[in-house]
Amino acid sequence: MNIQNYINGKFENPISNEWVDNYNPANGEVYGQIPNSSKADVENAYIAAKSEFPSWSQTTLEERSKILVKISELLEANLERFAEAESKDNGKPISLATAVDIPRAASNFRFFGNAITQFSSESHETIGQNAINYTLRQPIGVVGCISPWNLPLYLFTWKIAPAIAAGNCVVAKPSEITPMTAYLLGDICNEAGLPKGVLNIVHGLGSTTGQAIIEHPDIRAISFTGGTETGAHIAKVAAPMFKKLSLELGGKNPNIIFADCDYNDMLETTVRSSFSNQGQICLCGSRIFIEASIYNKFKKDFVEKVKQLRVGHPSEKSTNIGALVSKQHLEKVKNYIEIAKSENSIILCGGNEVSVKGYENGYYLQPTIIEVKTDLCRINQEEVFGPVVTIMPFNTEEDVLKMANQVKYGLSATIWTNDLKRTMRMSKLIEVGIIWINTWMLRDLRTPFGGVKASGIGREGGFEALRFFTEAKNVCIKY
């Protein structure tokens, strides 16, 4: 099946007629092609967005809200079709796409459709000077949104929904590895009555299509989620052009387990926070630190539980672990397991590819637990982004804090303890943007979302996203 660009409300082939193969990770076969859009396609998308901007930016909040909520409803009505497409494109279990990815994409539109009706700006009376200041929060104009492959529609819409809610027009690019649900979104937008040109979706490789977006002199802001190296490249290109930038990048998140936690709840959640979506979630807790007094018990119980996870075809309801997203990614993850072995770490379970009957060319890997001797080894410092976690014991709160922070990333952390004072102390000292205490990935869309250090700059979510997608302009009136 061939995917087309969605520009000015219409579906189009790329001008150059250049295409890229799209693979099904569950069987390793090519099942379609996507445009490798060039500068000229991005320019057309930009022109469509620019022409619509004067009208869209003046559309009432009620009208914008109505359209966004309608998109949300249509996504929900098409849940099964979208979930199947997401699972086939990405390799994730259909159960996950049905329960999480597509409902969350729908929530993103509903949430920002509602949030924009509550978004307001400030006014400051300058006392003693007979003056009043008010701040306008104006949409930026045409903005670029670029997203990764791990949660395709979920992260694509996490950017697009606030961008258009705030009155911008968008040139968006999903990952070339998982383009399908973004393609299907075009029809839904038309059906919901989104004016043509508000959202334009161009498909293609990062080095061609993505590069054309970030280099475009009149695309004034870039919201990007993806790898840290790509983020650094985008910052280099965009900074001299003074574009507004939001960068959500990689992570190597600590999962810190104290002996006084609710053990069963912790164990169950830790299996999820380690291996959901084949461990390909930027928030997965890939470095697990366990208080020494319960280390041996945890090690035994965790290995036992993880061995029960079923690796299988994504479309089967009983599958816990689907396929990794691509051959190249599978090789990268396998290579990290070899690196761990060469560093004298111990593979406690997993570590090998899985041959799924009937789908022998799919990209399947066992969930893997690695016991490390030091937190400074490569497997514990570099982002693997697959079904691989490390475990090691710690003795004191000070020791584990040091290890948690001794890494270049700073996205999220999880702490398991019933000691309130400890959670308060540690939450202040851990260098990340998001902390979960006694839970994982419990999301409230109003909260700020993002990381520090090599995990990025800027925050998404709630009013933070609406602030990013608007410019504050102050007006001072003397009376």
Binding positions for ligand NAD, rule: CB under 6 A: 146-150, 155, 173, 175-176, 206-207, 210-211, 214, 225-227, 230, 233-234, 248-251, 282, 383, 385, 411, 451, 455-456
Whole-number minimum distance, CB 478 to ligand NAD, in Å? 45
Q: Which two tokens stand for residue 7?
A: 């520009």
Give how far Cα 329 sits from Cα of 166, 258, 262, 452, Å.
36, 33, 35, 25
Whole-number minimum distance, CB 213 to ligand NAD, in Å? 6
How far apart CA 462 and CA 447 sit, in angstroms, is 6
- Contact predicate 352/366, CB 8 Å: yes
Closer CB to ligand NAD, residue 214 or residue 379? Answer: 214
Active site residue 248: yes
Active site residue 169: no
Whole-number minimum distance, CB 178 to ligand NAD, in Å? 8
Closer CB to ligand NAD, residue 215 or residue 371? Answer: 215
Closer CB to ligand NAD, residue 113 or residue 433? Answer: 433
How far apart CA 356 and CA 358 sit, in angstroms, is 6
Closer CB to ligand NAD, residue 98 or residue 326? Answer: 326
Helices in 193-227 by DSSP H: which ranges?
211-215
Closer CB to ligand NAD, residue 141 or residue 179? Answer: 179
Number of helices (H), then strands (E), belonging to the chain: the values are 16, 22
Question: Whats the size of the chain, residue-wise?
Answer: 479
How far apart CA 106 and CA 111 sit, in angstroms, is 9
Whole-number minimum distance, CB 323 to ligand NAD, in Å? 16
Residue nearest to ligand NAD (CB): 206
Residues near 242 by beta carbon (within 8 Å), at least 6 away in sequence: none
Whole-number minimum distance, CB 294 to ligand NAD, in Å? 29
Closer CB to ligand NAD, residue 185 or residue 266? Answer: 185
How far apart CA 75 and CA 109 sit, in angstroms, is 9
Number of Cα atoms under 13 Å in the Cβ half of residue 80: 0
* Active-site residue, from 84, 248, 383, 460: 248
Give how far Cα 24 sits from Cα of 123, 186, 303, 323, 406, Å.
53, 22, 30, 9, 38
- Count of CB atoms within 10 A of residue 126's CB? 12
CA-wise closest residue to 166 among 202, 123, 198: 198
Q: Which two tokens stand for residue 154?
A: 């979920």
Whole-number minimum distance, CB 74 to ligand NAD, in Å? 24
In the chain, the amino acid numbered 8 is N
- Contact predicate 324/280, CB 8 Å: yes
Whole-number minimum distance, CB 252 to ligand NAD, in Å? 9
* Active-site residue, from 282, 377, 383, 460: 282
Torsion of CA 97, 100, 106, 109, to 10 degrees: -130
How far apart CA 284 and CA 288 sit, in angstroms, is 10
* Coil/strand/helix, residue 427: helix
Closer CB to ligand NAD, residue 295 or residue 363? Answer: 363
Residues with a known catalytic role: 248, 282
